[in-house]
Amino acid sequence: MSAAVILAMNVQWPGLTHEGIFTVPIPDRMTFWQWFGNLTLTESWRHCVFGGDAQHLLPNTWTLCYEEQFYVIAALILYFASQRIFTAAIVVTVLIFIGKTVSWSLGWDVEGSLLDGRWFEIGAGILLFYRVNEATPKQIALINSLFALGVVVSLRNPGKLMDFYPNHDMERFVAYSFALLASFLYPFDQKMKHARWLQPLWLVGAMSYSVYLCHPLIAKGISFGFFRSGVNGNAVTLFFVVPLCMAISIAVAYVFHRVVERHFIPPRIAPNEKPANTLVPVAVTTS
């Protein structure tokens, strides 16, 4: 669908999504292997193995390639170590650290794979999950210290946080800072959940995946369209173009969520409530 939208936009506004920064490729110029990588969500790391340079149809879909790699590892952990998932996650983290060190020392190109270091950001999410569900008060203090250490390490080159394009230090700073903030705010989770002034955020959060899928072409088209028209001052961009991009992205995402996404979301089950059509209670334990 994205490819069709891009081609249609090219007919009306040639080059609107292909010029400037954070561009999208012209679909009919992508190679077979680039299409293969996009359709299989392997494009971020495929270039490390075969098929030439990587080219994402939408610039944000590189995250789906990491998500797919995480699902593979998570499935293996659940299959082989379902009673020791956190221990297994630590083992995986150590192995990835070794792999990252070896690949860096040998000059191997592993960008786009979990060996490039982004697993450690996923690890922060696993630690946060453990902090919420399993950790003792002493363990929570240790986990918070690890998050804080991650923030400090990501600041070893503070200037990188101001780079125009995203980089690993910027990503780690955001990931570890968010994990630390979420850990401190968790005791207030229920109060925030029922705060009326936060309800708009909950509504957007409920359809966040639709926003993720819909916003790239909208934000790119609107922002670069204004830029080409000469509307590119800092103030007008911040207070008019950005809010306009957000508003239209959320509106389109709402339609997409209602028409498509919500049909694939399983119904929520209240605590201690048995799922429908379940004959035998199922207990899931982790340690």
Per-residue pLDDT reduced to its tens digit, 106-130: 999 999 999 998 999 999 999 999 9
Q: Is the pTM of this model over 0.85?
A: no
Amino acid 277: pLDDT: 42
Residue type at 89 in one-letter notation: A
User: Cβ-count burial of 11 within 10 angstroms (0-12 exposed, 13-18 middle, 19+ buried)?
Assistant: exposed
Distance CA 51, CA 254 (A): 37
Distance CA 18, CA 220 (A): 9
Axis-axis angle for helices 208-228, 242-259 (nearest 10): 140
Residue 229 CB contacts under 8 Å (≥ 6 apart), including other chains: none
**What is the DSSP-derived secondary structure letter of residue 10?**
H
Nearest Cα to Cα of residue 89 among 122, 65, 111, 42: 122
Q: How far is CA 118 from CA 57, 78, 93, 126, 213, in A?
A: 21, 21, 11, 13, 21
Amino acid 46: pLDDT: 94
Residue 104 CB contacts under 8 Å (≥ 6 apart), including other chains: none
Amino acid 271: pLDDT: 47
Paired tokens of 277: 């059509």
Neighbour tally for 4: CB within 10 Å: 9
Which residues of the chain fall short of a pLDDT of 50? 271, 275-287
